[in-house]
Structure 1
Amino acid sequence: MAVAAATDGSGDVNGVRGGVIEPAHLGDERTTLLGFLQRQRDLVAWKMRDASDGTLASVRMPSGLTLHGIVRHLENVERSWFREFFGGQTGLRFDWTDEDPDADMRAEGVPMAELLASYAAETELCDEVIAAASSLDATAVDPDGTYSLRWVVVHMIEETGRHLGHIDLLREQADGAVGEGPPADA
């Protein structure tokens, strides 16, 4: 993905502000979609900034959903969609099982810094699969049907964005921290 350092993304390449990608305003489809995917990923880490593990672990939804669990889940779904499904990689480790399909949503006792580092490493591996594809029209097939890389990227933007909403609410509940991203002067 083309990224220009410390730009606002107003041109045809993705910029970065405060450690968070600013998607290109004038980029082609691939640059724009991958810019928005990376922005969602970056915001996961940004939302966890400057909070202790104790603070982050102090809140949970009635369903048991936690900030730590969301990060582990996002790592697993990226691995599943990009590397296993689209990239055809086998022998990958997942935190869910047939007996416990929600096990990836639990990460008690794992430091947030470790979860975020693992998530970032996974997204880099997933980006290699994306980069290897000739176009967003490339397809992969599973028992549920045929999907384009475009669909998988948009789905992951949706999935990560949906969980960012959960992260927003849980982080505000934990310590009052709010915000959609780094300030313009970051």
Structure 2
Amino acid sequence: MNDGNGSTNGSRRGITEAAHRGDERTALLGYLQRQRDLVIWKVSDGEDDVLRRAETPTGLTIHGVVRHLTNVERSWLREVFAGQSDLEYDWTDEDPDGELHVPADVSITELTGDYAAESARCDEVVASASLDDRSASRDSSLRWILLHLIEETSRHLGHLDLLREQADGRTGEEPAED
């Protein structure tokens, strides 16, 4: 049952429920976590070779989107906001979209595991900060960065909806109730 505070104890297979009450921080973190959970749900339970076949005319793939989201969280929360350096990314100056080009031997299970682990590391950064705190390298507040990540994750979740339907016909906005 949803406690209104972004609880993962809902009845929809571990998907965080959006906060209906509570403060701004609870709402922002709850909505971000919900989108993360839906990304992982959307790409789970599919055969890797089948999921890999779905591709847009510009080359966007399920695997690439998940890896992109991992890199985006790392960049915004750990590098831009917290000022951490020496972080590794899947893009380079020579290939700025490198995170979208996932080698064939990298599975969706590995990618979702990396995404969940990076999200947890980013949550540690957020836990000790105020929404009004400014980022280390840009004039952006944590509030703005969280809103940006909700927007970015939601946009790419829409891409994953279409790619997953193209791959194997699976549709749906969220898991059915248990």
TM-score, normalised with respect to structure 1? 0.90
Once the two structures are TM-superposed, the CA of residue 14 in structure 1 deviates from its matched residue by 1.6
**Unaligned 5+ residue runs, structure 1?**
1-6
| Residue in structure 2 matching 1:44, options 19, 39, 56 | 39
CA deviation vs aligned residue, 1:64-102 (integer Å, no higher than 9, x gap):
010000011000010000001101111100111111100
**Unaligned 5+ residue runs, structure 2?**
none
Report what 2:127 is aligned to: 131
Deviates more, 1:120-129 or 1:19-28: 19-28
Report what 1:4 is aligned to: none
Residues 6 and 31 in structure 2, CA contact (< 8 A), matched pair in contact too = no
Distance 1:29 1:46 in 2: 26
Q: Does 1:65 find its partner at 2:60?
A: yes
Distance 2:92 2:54 in 1: 25
Residues 42 and 160 in structure 2, CA contact (< 8 A), matched pair in contact too = yes
SS at match of 1:114: helix
Residues 87 and 129 in structure 1, CA contact (< 8 A), matched pair in contact too = yes
Distance 2:124 2:30 in 1: 15
Report what 1:112 is aligned to: 108
Distance 2:121 2:128 in 1: 11
Distance 2:80 2:128 in 1: 14
SS at match of 1:147: coil
Once the two structures are TM-superposed, the CA of residue 141 in structure 1 deviates from its matched residue by 4.5
Higher relative contact order, chain-length normalized (CA < 8 Å, sep 6+) = 2
Q: Note the aligned Cα RMSD (angstroms).
A: 1.1
Q: Identity rate of aligned residues, in percent?
A: 57
Residues 155-170 of structure 1 mapped to structure 2, 5 A cutoff: 155-170=148-163
Distance 1:141 1:54 in 2: 41
Once the two structures are TM-superposed, the CA of residue 180 in structure 1 deviates from its matched residue by 0.6
Report what 1:3 is aligned to: none
Pairs aligned (count) = 174
Structure with the higher strand share, 1 or 2:
1
Once the two structures are TM-superposed, the CA of residue 19 in structure 1 deviates from its matched residue by 1.4
Residues 86 and 149 in structure 1, CA contact (< 8 A), matched pair in contact too = yes
| Residue in structure 2 matching 1:150, options 137, 143, 155 | 143
Once the two structures are TM-superposed, the CA of residue 108 in structure 1 deviates from its matched residue by 2.8
Report what 2:171 is aligned to: 178
Residues 9-28 of structure 1 mapped to structure 2, 5 A cutoff: 9=3, 11=4, 13-16=5-8, 17-28=12-23
Residues 82 and 136 in structure 2, CA contact (< 8 A), matched pair in contact too = no
Residues 68 and 108 in structure 1, CA contact (< 8 A), matched pair in contact too = no
Once the two structures are TM-superposed, the CA of residue 31 in structure 1 deviates from its matched residue by 0.4
Q: Does 1:74 find its partner at 2:66?
A: no
